[in-house]
Structures are given as structure tokens and as C-alpha cells.
Amino acid sequence: MPDNKSNRPNVFQRFWNKIREFLRETIGELRKVNWPTRQEAIRMTQIVIVVIFLMAAILGGLDFIFARFIALIIA
């Protein structure tokens, strides 16, 4: 009766093979990505910064209004 376990890689070899396969597939997918140009990246970054400041102002204003409202109710 042949021993099937001797043909099977050990746990470390299987683990390493899975890591290699993952890295190979990841690199393959990254090659398919349509990366933005420098100008597009700068423009998108500026938009994100503006949106962050707008949301901070809106949330800060709402927090101030609700804090005053709660202070009126409690006092």
C-alpha cells in the first residue's frame, strides 16, 4: 500500500506556495490597473481636501447647534 502523504508537500511548503500564488496574482492584477496621471491625482486630492473641510464645517456647525439646544433644554 503506497503512502500518499509522502507525495504531499508539508504544511510550510503549502503555505509558501499559497503566498507565492497570491503575490503572483496580485502583481498580475496591478498590471491591469489604469493608473491616474500626476495631474489627475493632484486634482482628485484637491477635491478630497475640499470635501473634507466642507464636511468638517457642516458637522462642526451641527454639533454647535445641538450642543446649544441641549444646553437650553437642560438649563
For the entire predicted model, the pTM comes to 0.58
Answer yes or no: is 65 within a domain. Answer: yes
Contact of 48 with 56, CB cutoff 8 Å: no
Answer yes or no: is 1 within a domain. Answer: no
Using a 10 angstrom Cβ sphere, with 0-12 exposed, 13-18 middle and 19 or more buried, the burial of residue 71 is: exposed
pLDDT value for 37: 96
Show the cell assigned to 42: 493632484
- Cα separation of 52 and 46, whole Å? 10
Domain tally, the chain: 1
Domain that holds residue 34: 8-74
pLDDT value for 6: 64
The HSE-up count of residue 50 (CA atoms within 13 Å, CB side) is 6
Answer yes or no: is 2 within a domain. Answer: no
Question: Tell me, what amino acid is at 18?
Answer: K
What is the per-residue pLDDT across 20-69, written as a single tens digit (0 to 9) for each? 999 999 999 999 999 999 999 999 999 999 999 999 999 999 999 999 99
- Cα separation of 35 and 41, whole Å? 9
